[in-house]
Amino acid sequence: MDEKTRFDSFNFDTEITGALEKKGFEFCTEIQAQAIPVILETTKDVLGLAQTGTGKTAAFGLPLIQKIQVGNKFPKAIILAPTRELAIQVAEEIKSYLGKKRLHIMSVYGGTPITNHIRDLKAGCDIVVGTPGRVMDLIKRKSLRLAEIDYFVLDEADEMLNMGFIDDIETILAAANDTKRVFLFSATMPEGIKKITRKYMGDHEVIEIAKKKFNSDLIKQIYYKLRYSEKFDALTKIIDLEDFFYGIVFCKTRNDVDEVAQFLRKNKYQADAIHGDIAQNKREKILQNFRDQKLHILVATDVAARGIDVSNLSHVINFSIPQELETYVHRIGRTGRAGNKGTAITFIGPKEEWVVRKLERITNNSTIERGTLPTVADLAMSNANRVEKEIETIMSTGAHKKFQEMTTSLIEKFGPEGAVSALLHKMLHKEAIANPAHERMAAGGFGGGRDSRGGSRDRDSRGRDGGRFSRDSRGGNDRFGSRDRDSRGGDRFGSRDRDSRGSDRFGSRDGGNRFSRDGDRRDSRDRFSRDGDRRDSRGSDRFGSRDGGDRYGNKSNGGRPSISGDDVRLFIAKGTHDRITTDSLSKYVSEKSGSVRPKDVKLCGAFSFMTVSKDDSKKILKAFESEKSDNGRPVIEVAQ
């Protein structure tokens, strides 16, 4: 079929046609043009192979709502999706095509009370969209009947297989009646998909849409070669350099997501995290805040980010390289949409430059430039340019006139250059003069202690003296809207209300049953949760015990190094005041010394303790012997 097939050529009900017109949908995508007539006009099953973002939901959703009659007691169609976000998105998209047609479509997923789903199913439902785990739970409770199912849809089937849902999918398929039609949509064709096709699909039409060539014209790709410990500071530099930053930061694991988001929030950036451990109602609130640009930085795993449909992202940052390099294309394809230009930034390790060559190949031999992190001068210039633009805006609105009398007085007293220079110094000095962490961490070490930086590096301590141009008090609109810190609890880009973050570290994790199979919260020992986010068992208290104690630890052993068996306790002259976390400290020490990850790390304000094996302690002490703290002592030594 021609790619320019019109929707009105399918003779949909007037309610559906009206809804499509209202949405401005006139022409079909390729997958829609080929799949819709097969589902509408034949009795065949469908195997659709097409990339994410090609319009698959409408390809099966439109014919389903055309063929299903209103008023069914039990579902006539079931659609399985890999994640909660995608299940919600699919259900909402299909609802948007209904117009005034009164079909009941509901989504079921973990992280919400199952009693709500049971109640809604009892009331009657025409189409169920759900994650395999919650669907299985409802079937076991005999609340979801599949005996009258006419249509069975597997959306993002390869993702469900990758997440370990194959057994659940087969169980659900087997529970449905034998006369059902099966519509399977997938981006790839792994062996598991072939098995399902052979076992559960009869006479079927294969519709394969060629992969679109990656268009690099709208996406500028940059990579930075960094040690893990340098990534955090690089991230803030990149954000600070931009006039406007609205993007997603991708991490491999949930722990990494939490660590990056907490680091950003602590340093006054408007950031939040989304992954499978966050309760569903909080997830939805976070996503809505992000869509509304009340939140400008979203830190996410790949699976949790599925279903996020935002067309105007300025940046995508790969804090971690994806496990599957093909995922890189999906990640960076979230920017550079709708004719807008975007920037995709990737952090690679010191020995991972080969990855860049592979990424260039899978993006049609595009060029990924090696970036140079902005210097202190670059950041200062960026701020100065931003101030100039803000002044132009203020002048154009006439808002400055109410300060005319004060301006005249200042000019008479200090002269034009003196008055403006002093105000600019007050405005920019604490904001764009060197953030000492940038220079210290870029040098690849812990160097420069807290004392040498002039106290805590928390941004709240960098200028509380008020004044119109003080970043902490100036109010008004800047690059990200109102930045009056008093009104937002210290967040750089906006509100830091914990309720809007959805991942209160010590709060309720009411994400459902720990053994739920569709991504509800699982035991932290489970390395791979079923919603695809890689688990990590590192989850100790990120900031460690706050009881601190003596700098050299417990002295009950008469001043000897605190060695228990084969373990050695090391003292580190750095702590949370230095903007390090348990994980970043562990990774940095391991990388530099070639040792294994430490057995235990406890962070305090100005120092930390780390427990390692005897052999590893020797490697660590050797690697750090040249690094000294402010008092001339080694930055790492055996605790006494």
Q: What is the per-residue pLDDT for 386?
A: 77
**Block residue for tokens 């906006």:** 494
Q: Which of 355-359, 458-462, 506-510 has the highest mean pLDDT?
A: 355-359
**Beta partners for 224?**
347
Cα–Cα separations (whole angstroms), residue 105 to 117, 169, 352, 419, 589:
12, 21, 47, 64, 53
Q: What is the per-residue pLDDT for 512?
A: 41
What span, in angstroms and rounded, lies between the C-alpha atoms of 584 and 548? 19
Q: Judge whether residue 198 has pLDDT over 80.
A: yes
Q: What is the per-residue pLDDT for 499?
A: 41
What span, in angstroms and rounded, lies between the C-alpha atoms of 121 and 345? 45
Task: Give pLDDT tens digits for 115-127.
Answer: 999 999 999 999 9
Task: Tell me if 59 sits within 8 A of 238, measured CB to CB.
Answer: no
Between 53 and 162, the more confident residue is 162
Task: Give pLDDT tens digits for 238-248.
Answer: 999 888 899 99
Which range among 60-74, 285-299, 349-363, 622-636 shows the weakest confidence by mean pLDDT? Answer: 622-636
Question: Comparing C-alpha atoms, which of 606, 600, 603 is closest to residue 573?
Answer: 606
Average pLDDT for 386-396: 81
What mean pLDDT is reported for the chain?
Answer: 77
DSSP run (H or E) holding 265: helix 254-266
Task: Tell me if 173 sits within 8 A of 167, measured CB to CB.
Answer: no
Task: Give pLDDT tens digits for 457-498.
Answer: 333 333 333 333 333 333 334 433 333 333 344 444 444 343
Tokens of 340: 């807008």
DSSP run (H or E) holding 197: helix 191-200
- Give me the long-range contacts of 192-195 (CB less than 8 A, separation at least 24): 192/158, 192/161, 192/166, 193/157, 193/158, 193/161
What span, in angstroms and rounded, lies between the C-alpha atoms of 259 and 189? 35
Q: What is the per-residue pLDDT for 530?
A: 39
DSSP run (H or E) holding 116: helix 114-122
Task: Tell me if 145 sits within 8 A of 75, measured CB to CB.
Answer: yes
Average pLDDT for 344-353: 92
Task: Tell me if 473 sits within 8 A of 485, measured CB to CB.
Answer: yes
Tokens of 404: 């005319």
pTM (2 d.p.): 0.47
Put the strands of the sheet holding 297-300 in their side by side order.
Answer: 271-274, 297-300, 247-250, 315-318, 342-348, 219-225, 369-370
Q: What percent of the chain shows pLDDT beyond 70?
A: 75
Task: Give pLDDT tens digits for 415-458.
Answer: 888 877 787 777 665 444 434 444 444 444 444 333 333 333 33
Tokens of 183: 């519509």
How do strand 600-603 and strand 247-250 relate by DSSP bridges? unpaired
Position 4 confidence tier, pLDDT thresholds 50, 70, 90: confident
Domains of the chain and CATH, by start: 7-208 (3.40.50.300), 219-370 (3.40.50.300), 376-474 (no CATH), 563-638 (3.30.70.330)
What span, in angstroms and rounded, lies between the C-alpha atoms of 638 and 622? 12
Q: How many CB atoms lie within 10 A of CB 288?
A: 12
Tokens of 325: 């390099």
Q: Judge whether residue 371 has pLDDT over 90.
A: yes
What span, in angstroms and rounded, lies between the C-alpha atoms of 441 and 229? 7
Burial of 294 (0-12, 13-18, 19+ CB in 10 A): middle
Q: What is the per-residue pLDDT for 134?
A: 96
DSSP run (H or E) holding 308: none
Task: Give pLDDT tens digits for 602-616.
Answer: 887 677 888 999 888
Task: Tell me if 437 sits within 8 A of 579, measured CB to CB.
Answer: yes
Cα–Cα separations (whole angstroms), residue 623 to 163, 247, 382, 614:
40, 37, 37, 14
